[in-house]
């Protein structure tokens, strides 16, 4: 056996990990792709070199390639991020949510700030018990104008995040805003830190579990999607067809009891019973 065969990854896979942090798995029941989102989400501005970053210009083309590749059956997203650029994070989240292939995310370490939309963007989400997620309002660094338009901009951006998170999870918008505006949780900020169990209890994340749970769930989604649809038998088709009973037309002529009614109630014209008013 050669040294290359003994190695856990091929040379191509090793280079893939070095360049983008992405690796495709082989010799598995299903061919799934692992996408890691770690450190800080880098947007339109380059962060200092000492920062561990995930560049959106790397992730977006990778997601397009995964969607187009017919050999890849599913995508596993591993998250350990402190947040970062809001628009870059939302762009990645929208692309993941719009993928036709099965996707499962798992939060390890932390999924803070804009990492929350990234975590819920997959078809199903997992979180390990020791991981945490921080929910807080949008913040901006640098110079800003103290005018009403600035506050409107912040409010609209916050609504975009709230709408996306609540649309892709089970948490209600009112509850999400309550957690976002909590004042007694963080020391230098407002917001809430949710641990693994609390995130599942609030409906933000679907399941509490580990890597094996996330992978097994992804396999089940793939198998369910690829399973051939069973055709209905003739008996089932007949049972599903509802029998229509013809409705007899109602007669508008003079009723048989017209004479009795006339005697009881006095002056009643026959036209009232023939629809001739």
| Catalytic (active-site) positions | 113, 136
Q: Residues 72, 99: contact at Cβ < 8 Å? A: no
Q: Residues 82, 113: contact at Cβ < 8 Å? A: yes
| Distance between CA atoms of residues 64 and 67, nearest Å | 5
* 149: helix, strand or coil: helix
Q: Which residue has the tokens 């929208």?
A: 94
Backbone phi, psi, residue 249, to 5°: -70, 140
Q: Residues 133, 119: contact at Cβ < 8 Å? A: yes
Q: What is the largest CA-CA distance in the chain?
A: 112
């Amino acid at each position: 056996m050669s040294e290359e065969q003994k190695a856990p990854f091929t040379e191509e896979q090793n280079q893939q990990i070095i360049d983008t942090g992405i690796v495709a798995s082989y010799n598995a029941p299903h061919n799934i792709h692992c996408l890691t989102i770690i450190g800080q989400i880098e947007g339109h501005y380059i962060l200092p070199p000492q920062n561990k970053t995930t560049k959106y210009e790397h992730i977006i083309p990778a997601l397009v390639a995964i969607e187009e590749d017919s050999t890849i059956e599913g995508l596993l997203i591993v998250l350990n991020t402190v947040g970062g650029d809001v628009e870059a994070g939302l762009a990645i989240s929208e692309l993941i949510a719009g993928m036709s292939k099965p996707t499962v995310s798992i939060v390890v370490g932390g999924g803070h700030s804009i990492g929350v939309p990234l975590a819920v963007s997959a078809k199903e989400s997992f979180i390990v018990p020791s991981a945490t997620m921080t929910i807080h309002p949008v913040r901006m660094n640098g110079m800003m104008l103290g005018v009403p338009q600035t506050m409107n901009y912040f409010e609209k951006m916050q609504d975009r995040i709230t709408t996306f998170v609540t649309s892709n999870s089970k948490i209600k918008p009112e509850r999400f805003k309550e957690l976002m505006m909590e004042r007694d949780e963080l020391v230098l900020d407002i917001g809430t830190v949710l641990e693994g169990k609390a995130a599942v209890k609030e409906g933000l994340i679907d399941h509490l579990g580990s890597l094996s749970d996330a992978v097994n769930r992804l396999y089940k989604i793939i198998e369910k999607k690829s399973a051939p649809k069973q055709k209905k038998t003739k008996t089932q088709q007949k049972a599903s067809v509802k029998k229509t009973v013809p409705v007899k037309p109602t007669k508008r002529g003079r009723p048989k009891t017209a004479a009795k009614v006339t005697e009881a109630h006095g002056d009643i014209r026959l036209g009232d019973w023939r629809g001739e008013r």
